[in-house]
Chain A
Amino acid sequence: MLSEEERREIEAEFPHYPTRQAVCIDAMKIVQKHRGWVSDEALKDISELLGMPLAELDGVATFYNLIFRQPVGRHVIYVCDSVSCWIMHSDRQFRHLRERLGTAPGETTADGRFTLLPIVCLGACDRAPVMMVDDDLHGLLEPGKIDGILEKYR
């Protein structure tokens, strides 16, 4: 069941678009904001609210990098693996994070604190290499700096 708050936030988007289906990205992002991810059950609830076939909605959900169809940690680390960061040694940042967290990209730490994900170019190439933790962008990374950044996310 969608919570009352989730439903209210989703319905507030309805006037912005001429169809309900057009609200589906917003709806999934709203649910994810509250629960961290979009479960099968939540997807079904959204599809009913929007009058959109469940399979089509799942097709949209899985199309996007930022809609999570499985649980993630309390914080998500997105490390850019595109070209400008690669030139600036993003491979070293990945290696450091892997060792430090004991997880490979795509995995969540055992304590549920971090999920480590590769991400496409974050559009901050003048500060490469970069990563995002939750909503915050961090640039000019080096292994020592990464440790200090992670401390801020408990």
Chain B
Amino acid sequence: METPLTQNVHPVAAPPDRGAYERAGGYQALRKALREMTPESVVEEVKGANLRGRGGAGFPTGLKWSLVPKDAPHPRYVVCNADEMEPGTFKDRVIMEGDPHELVEGVILCGYATGADAAYIFLRGEYKLAAQRVAQAIAEAYEGHYLGRNILGSGYGLDLYLHTSAGRYMCGEETGMLNALEGKRANPRAKPPYPPVVGLFGKPTTINNVETLSNVPHIVNHGAEWFRKLSRSKDGGTKIYGVSGKVKRPGWWELPMGTTVREILEEHAGGMREGLRFRGLLPGGASTDFLTEQHLDVPMDFTEVQKAGSRMGTGTMIVMDDRTCPVGMVWNLTHFFAQESCGWCTPCWSGLAWAERILKAMEEGKGQPGDLERLEFQTKFWAPGQTFCALAPGAAEPLQSALKYFRDDFERHIRDHGCPWADGGAG
């Protein structure tokens, strides 16, 4: 099985430096693109590969790149979203710590394809080791003439800067990220205009996730067809899947896109720990709907997980066992979203805090009849279209699905005036 994305990632050793990366075939894609391909043909190759955005939303990457108008003004920007703050998600860390040159090459290829003059990697502040390694890779790429003016004598030039953030989930929302880079509070912007037309500093901007960009050198090297064939589904490529929770072997694995939930959970993560039973999982981070036993054979890709009523999101699953309280878990999630809300839209700042209070009361034995209906009302109020960004719609997903699949547990909390699990149900 091919694992192009993580072929250079070693669990313990330092990542490949420029020399080692080049010896493993690194920067060949950039040479090929600059010498043999027009920017348009790079975009076409990525389109043909069916690469979909790995940040969670799954937007087709080639299509996104083609949204920068041909006659768009300069400077144009690329922003790499490395603000991996979705709870339960630890996949971009793998690439940035394990093979930072792969990401740097992907950023440069995206820059070439969209005619960008400068690029920023927007990295969350807590990723200290990744910051060190990505900064080192950028410096080495400049030394190798892969960055700066006139890259490899091609006439194309790109500057790449590492921006380390200071910790706030909202910065991962793409227009919040643009405001953060401009030195403003990371509130979301009204759309349209979309970033490819009016983005960073008001200029055309392409924003992609770390894992998305890291796929691009491989697509350019081996072609769209090869990339599509890596996958077991319509969405091209491999995917870094992860599992956390009380399974035997929590971890991450690069597998063909469309590998089933069951294979990831049972074969790779080793199934549940002794004495514990599986109850449900969030397939791709905190802001996805629960899947349960009936969904275990669903292939993990953007299309199929959506058909099952959830989203693949970041592809890193959070597993809930039968000794973990669903109400406690959803309270924890809602606390996170309420705390991280930027305060821009009323359904979000007000509604999330309200829902958190109801869940807390329920867990502490002070649940009231009508609480479930109040929570359901809130999740509808947070739906897409009611807010500027996806934070509140994302917060609705685990709550609305928990109310559907684990309703008995919620009712029991109200009826019995408290949490039936000792220790508040954390494990």
Q: Could you mark each residue 122-148 of chain A with 1 if its beta carbon is under 8 Å from any beta carbon of chain B, else 0?
A: 111111100010011100000000000
With both chains docked as a complex, state the minimum distance between the C-beta of A81 and any C-beta of chain B, in angstroms: 8
| A104 at the B interface (CB under 8 A) | no
- The interface residues of chain A lying within 8 Å CB-to-CB of B4 are none
| B65 at the A interface (CB under 8 A) | no
Binding site for B on A (CB under 8 A): 16-19, 21-26, 28-29, 50, 52, 56, 59-60, 63-67, 78, 81-84, 86-91, 119-128, 132, 135-137
Q: Given A66-B166, A123-B85, are A59 and B180 neighbors across the interface (CB < 8 Å)?
A: no
- The interface residues of chain A lying within 8 Å CB-to-CB of B163 are 16, 25-26
- The interface residues of chain A lying within 8 Å CB-to-CB of B185 are 59-60, 63
Beta-carbon contact of A64 and B167 below 8 Å: yes
CA separation between A122 and B76, bound complex, in Å?
32
Q: Given A60-B183, A120-B340, are A125 and B250 neighbors across the interface (CB < 8 Å)?
A: yes
Which residue from A19, A50, A56, A123 sits with its C-beta under 8 Å from B93? A123
Beta-carbon contact of B93 and A65 below 8 Å: no
Residue of A nearest to B170 (CB): A63
Which residue from B89, B125, B186 sits with its C-beta under 8 Å from A121? B89
Residue of A nearest to B316 (CB): A125
| B286 at the A interface (CB under 8 A) | yes
Q: Given A125-B316, A128-B250, are A29 and B166 neighbors across the interface (CB < 8 Å)?
A: yes
Residue of A nearest to B126 (CB): A122
- The interface residues of chain B lying within 8 Å CB-to-CB of A60 are 183-185
Residue of A nearest to B245 (CB): A87
With both chains docked as a complex, state the minimum distance between the C-beta of B288 and any C-beta of chain A, in angstroms: 12
Residue of B nearest to A24 (CB): B183
Task: Knowing that A19-B201, A87-B244 touch, tell me 10 more A-B residue pairs with CB under 8 angstroms.
Answer: A21-B182, A25-B165, A25-B183, A63-B342, A64-B165, A66-B125, A89-B426, A123-B124, A126-B250, A126-B251
Residue of B nearest to A132 (CB): B126
- The interface residues of chain B lying within 8 Å CB-to-CB of A16 are 161, 163
Of the candidates B127, B318, B340, the one having the most CB atoms from chain A within 10 angstroms of its own CB is B318
Beta-carbon contact of B245 and A63 below 8 Å: no
Which residue from A52, A59, A86, A126 sits with its C-beta under 8 Å from B90? A126
Beta-carbon contact of A87 and B85 below 8 Å: no
Beta-carbon contact of A83 and B340 below 8 Å: no
Of the candidates A16, A60, A64, the one having the most CB atoms from chain B within 10 angstroms of its own CB is A64
Q: Given A21-B184, A23-B183, A66-B126, are A91 and B426 neighbors across the interface (CB < 8 Å)?
A: yes
| B137 at the A interface (CB under 8 A) | no
CA separation between A24 and B165, bound complex, in Å?
11
Beta-carbon contact of A123 and B336 below 8 Å: no
- The interface residues of chain B lying within 8 Å CB-to-CB of A83 are 87-88, 282, 286, 318, 329, 332-333, 336
Q: Could you mark each residue 235-259 of chain B with 1 if its beta carbon is under 8 Å from any beta carbon of chain A, else 0?
A: 0000000111110001110000000
Q: Given A24-B183, A59-B185, A121-B86, are A67 and B333 neighbors across the interface (CB < 8 Å)?
A: no
Beta-carbon contact of A84 and B183 below 8 Å: no
Q: Could you mark each residue 74-111 of chain B with 1 if its beta carbon is under 8 Å from any beta carbon of chain A, else 0?
A: 01000000001111111011000000000000000000
CA separation between A17 and B164, bound complex, in Å?
13
Beta-carbon contact of B252 and A126 below 8 Å: yes
Residue of A nearest to B185 (CB): A63
The 5 closest A-B pairs by CB, nearest first: A65-B167, A125-B244, A64-B166, A21-B183, A121-B87
Beta-carbon contact of A135 and B164 below 8 Å: no
| B424 at the A interface (CB under 8 A) | yes
| B30 at the A interface (CB under 8 A) | no
Beta-carbon contact of A125 and B88 below 8 Å: yes
Which residue from B88, B126, B165, B242 sits with its C-beta under 8 Å from A119? B126
Q: Could you mark each residue 329-352 of chain B with 1 if its beta carbon is under 8 Å from any beta carbon of chain A, else 0?
A: 100110010011010000000000
With both chains docked as a complex, state the minimum distance between the C-beta of B148 and any C-beta of chain A, in angstroms: 13
Q: Could you mark each residue 32-64 of chain B with 1 if its beta carbon is under 8 Å from any beta carbon of chain A, else 0?
A: 000000000000000000000000000000000
Q: Given A25-B183, A83-B88, are A128 and B126 neighbors across the interface (CB < 8 Å)?
A: no
